[in-house]
Amino acid sequence: MPPRVIDVHTHIFSHEYVPVVGVLCEYVGLPRRMTEILAALLEALDQASGSGWVRGTLDAHTADDLVTLLVDRVMVDLDPRATRMAHGGGPTDPLYKALMDIEGFQGGHAAPLAHMVGDLLTALAQAPEKRTSAVRAVHQHRFGQALHGFLGKVVDEITTKATGVVQCLSFTYLLYGTDTDIRDALLDRAYNPGDNVQRFVHHMMDMEYGYPGYPAPELAYDVAIQRASALFAGSGGRLLGFVAFDPRRSDGLAKVKSAMTLGFTGVKIYPPMRYRPLDAREPLHTRLVGLYDWCTSDDIPVLAHTSPGGMQAVKGAGMNADPGPGLKEPADGWQAVLARWTNLRICFGHAGGEEMENSWTGQPPYTTLPGWDAEDDNAWNSPDCWPRKVVELCAASPNAYCDLSYFQGFALDPTRRQTLVANLLRAMAVPGSYRFSDKLLFGSDWHMPGALGETSATLAALADVFSHPPLKSWSDAFFYSNACRFLKLA
């Protein structure tokens, strides 16, 4: 393994920071009513820090494990609510309400909760050593079948809509852990002890304006910034943070500047929230210009999502991250940004991404974006190859970098890994004023679904890639020193 590693691309946000129903509907692909019920169920659980929810989620290996984890947790959390329920307080309890909604969703007639009051009173009257099991039997009889059936439908829905049902469901569960527990899981569980990962960079997400028609995040933007800054302070210096910027906020730049005084290191930009890097629409354009002016003058690092996929506000919104001429108008892409702010310190997250068909246009024949899956020189040199365009920007600009985050698909598949190596060699040959070997960074994109459970194996696979000539000479730069330079670490 490399002797020292910095993971420049991670996330530790909980459901409080994002419009969770919108994210699960648009990103994971769950139907809205199913999502609303699942979110209400998870939010109703008692998720105090240290509750074991995050640990249990990360320890699950199958969809059945995850279903059992949630069913068991629901039954445990119902235990202390039984007394209030038996004395008339149940109908207002959010967990009982969510379970009633599940009964209705399953198509059965949800009997009034009052119908089980007698059974609960009998159970509560049992001797102390028998009371808990008796109460749990009442809840299991009433809700167990409907809950199992509902979660089975969730699993089936994810299976048809997304890749990796265990990872997608684990991601959904993790969102309902505390942000402190999620942070600790990143620091202590994402990698093996011998992986030598010294620092992590968390990237906030500002999604309030990206999902119209869905409930807004629970935390106001200002509060989210303050909460995240406390997470950095409690990490022993291992966690850095980039604050999210959305040009639709009238006071966005002022908030970002204020965040720098709270311990943030840089700024995160996410065009899949339906804006372009240099959006021509006002007032977005003026606000983006103000951000780039300030980041350039104060040498503030920026990380920008740069792949056609990701957590898109709507399918196809990832195309807003197009780095330059091609499928989008070049005047508002990253090429235009760096032409104007040549010294902007920026990292292109995902470095252009993987192969993707733009079937979201609904107008065949569809264009295939080759990504880092480009199979030959023709594909690499095509106008639709985002990685090549990113490499060219990095080679032409003094402070432009990119990261290979969410690359577990390449790292863990031998065939795709060979393709990645071939394209890294093509990247080395791209002419420019700056060596691409000095611009490439390592990242994982934890806790996004595909990265869960794969970070250590991905690191090991990429370490092997960079242990052989000619890439061997890049190894320390890729895993560590380039990140130090981008982040301005001593």
Q: For tokens 């030598």, what's the residue?
A: 196
Give the 3-state secondary structure of 315-380: CCHHHHHCCCCCCCCHHHCHHHHHHHCCCCCEEEEHHHCCCEECHHHCCCCCCEECHHHCCCHHHH
pLDDT band at 109 (very low <50, low <70, confident <90, very high): low
Domain 5-13+165-487: assigned CATH number: 3.20.20.140
Q: What would the pLDDT profile of 259-318 be if each residue is shown by its tens digit?
A: 999 999 999 999 999 999 999 999 999 999 999 999 999 999 999 999 988 888 887 788
pLDDT at residue 92 tops 60: yes
Instruction: Give the pLDDT band (50/70/90) at residue 255.
Output: very high
Give the pLDDT score at 164. 85
Residue 4: pLDDT over 80: yes
* pLDDT for 330 beyond 90: no
Q: Is the pLDDT of residue 327 over 60?
A: no
The predicted-structure confidence for 166-190, as pLDDT tens digits, reads as follows 999 999 999 999 999 999 999 999 9
**What number is the average pLDDT over the span 115-140?**
91
Residues 194 and 3 sit within 8 Å (Cβ to Cβ): no
Overall average pLDDT of the 49-61 stretch: 89
pLDDT of residue 328 exceeding 60: no
Amino acid, single-letter form, for residue 149: G
Measured distance CA(447)–CA(289) in Å, rounded: 31
203-213 pLDDT, tens digit each: 999 999 999 99
The reported pLDDT for the residue numbered 318 is 84
Give the 3-state secondary structure of residue 415.
helix
> Has residue 395 got a pLDDT over 90?
yes
Question: What pLDDT sits at residue 366?
Answer: 60
For the stretch 429-476, pLDDT in tens is: 999 999 999 999 999 999 999 999 999 999 999 999 999 999 999 999
Would the pLDDT of 163 be above 90? Answer: no
pLDDT average, residue stretch 31-59 = 90
How far apart (Å, rounded) are the C-alpha atoms in residues 303 and 363?
32
In the chain, which residues fall in CATH 3.20.20.140?
5-13+165-487
pLDDT digits (tens, 9 = 90+) for 367-384: 788 999 999 999 999 988
In the chain, what percentage of residues exceed pLDDT 70? 94
Buried b (16+ CB within 10 A) or exposed e, 38-76: bbbbbbbbebeeebebbebbbebeebebbbebbbebbbe
Distance CA 37, CA 16 (A): 16
CA distance 74 to 135: 13
Mean of the per-residue pLDDT values for the chain? 92
Determine the pLDDT at residue 49: 64
Confidence of residue 326 (pLDDT cuts 50, 70, 90): very low
228-250 pLDDT, tens digit per residue, is 999 999 999 999 999 999 999 99
Rounded mean pLDDT, 341-367: 80
Q: What is the pLDDT of residue 390?
A: 96
Q: Distance between CA 18 and CA 447 in Å, rounded? A: 14
Q: Are 395 and 439 in contact (CB under 8 A)?
A: yes
pLDDT, tens digit (0-9, with 9 covering 90-100), for 71-84: 999 999 999 888 88
Question: Band of the pLDDT at 364, cuts 50, 70, 90?
Answer: low
Q: What stretch of H or E contains 489?
A: none
pTM confidence score: 0.94
Rounded distance between C-alpha atoms, residue 385 and residue 390, angstroms = 9
